């Protein structure tokens, strides 16, 4: 693949996930027009008897944001989004991650087709007021960057089963003893398919994410033209 070869994020997803790498699409090119490179789709896939392919899809969810509003998959239907897992009192990787996520926020500012979903890994500590204060410290647009809390098992199941994060860690018997700590950002398209993984502590990977947001927008614009 062109993006991220040899990088930490690249080795992470190449090791752990099956990838649909049909990454170029002509869109009925005119003479001299360049092909649009498509982003891969991550996760297991199933080819049906009629030839259709069913890709790994993010499961339904129900969480609460920093304003106390319920957020579900229907709340963001038709929207692309970037995902992370963090906690507000983290002193190690989270400050770096969310400093970098502010760059992503600046990139998508005012774009109704993109959101950011920042999930806590410590919902027992990260209450709605705590998340709102944290959002304010990061100049978050509360309509576009959601800091999400809720049931811990639901949050952790979403991380492992939907976003395919921390799948290599041992799941303890007691949810209260479980702990996810990952620096990975996930790019999800409006069809709830995973399109990229990025190390949220790496400036280079954040640059790749910002470029891939543009690629995803271009891909979707071209597909919309065809339809």
What predicted TM-score, i.e. pTM, was given to this entire model? 0.86
- What is the pLDDT, as a whole number, of residue 225? 78
Judge whether residue 154 has pLDDT over 50. Answer: yes
Beta carbons of 210 and 111 less than 8 angstroms apart: no
Cite the residue boundaries of each domain of the chain with CATH code 3.40.30.10: 62-224
119-133 mean pLDDT = 98
Could you tell me which residues come within 8 angstroms of residue 161 by beta carbon, excluding any fewer than 6 positions away? 59
81-86 mean pLDDT = 98
Band (28; pLDDT cuts 50, 70, 90): very low
Class of 62-224 in CATH: alpha beta
Judge whether residue 71 has pLDDT over 80. Answer: yes
Beta carbons of 202 and 3 less than 8 angstroms apart: no
Judge whether residue 19 has pLDDT over 60. Answer: no
- What is the pLDDT, as a whole number, of residue 29? 39
Task: Tell whether the torsion through CA atoms of 158, 21, 220 and 3 is positive or negative.
Answer: positive
- What is the pLDDT, as a whole number, of residue 2? 33
**Cα 87 to chain centroid, rounded:** 16
Judge whether residue 160 has pLDDT over 60. Answer: yes
Collapsing DSSP states into helix, strand and coil, what is residue 129?
A: helix
């Amino acid at each position: 693949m062109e993006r991220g070869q040899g990088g930490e994020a690249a080795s992470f997803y190449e090791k752990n996930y099956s990838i649909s790498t049909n990454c170029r699409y002509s869109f009925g090119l005119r003479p001299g027009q360049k092909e649009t490179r498509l982003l891969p789709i991550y996760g297991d896939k199933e080819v049906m008897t009629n030839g259709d392919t069913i890709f790994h899809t993010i499961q339904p969810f129900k969480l609460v944001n920093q304003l106390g509003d319920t957020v579900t998959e229907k709340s963001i239907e038709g929207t692309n989004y970037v995902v992370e897992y963090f906690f507000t009192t983290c002193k190690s990787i989270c400050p770096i991650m969310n400093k970098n996520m502010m760059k992503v926020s600046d990139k998508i500012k005012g774009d109704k087709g993109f959101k950011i979903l920042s999930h806590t890994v410590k919902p027992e500590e990260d209450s709605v007021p705590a998340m709102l204060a944290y959002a304010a410290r990061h100049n978050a647009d509360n309509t576009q960057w959601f800091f999400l809390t809720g049931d811990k098992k639901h949050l952790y199941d979403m991380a492992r089963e939907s976003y395919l994060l921390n799948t290599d860690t041992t799941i303890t018997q007691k949810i209260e003893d479980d702990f996810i700590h990952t620096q990975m950002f996930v790019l999800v398209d409006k069809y709830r398919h995973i399109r990229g993984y990025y190390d949220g502590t790496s400036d280079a990977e954040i640059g790749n994410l910002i470029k891939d947001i543009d690629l995803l927008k271009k891909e979707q614009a071209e597909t919309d033209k065809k339809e």
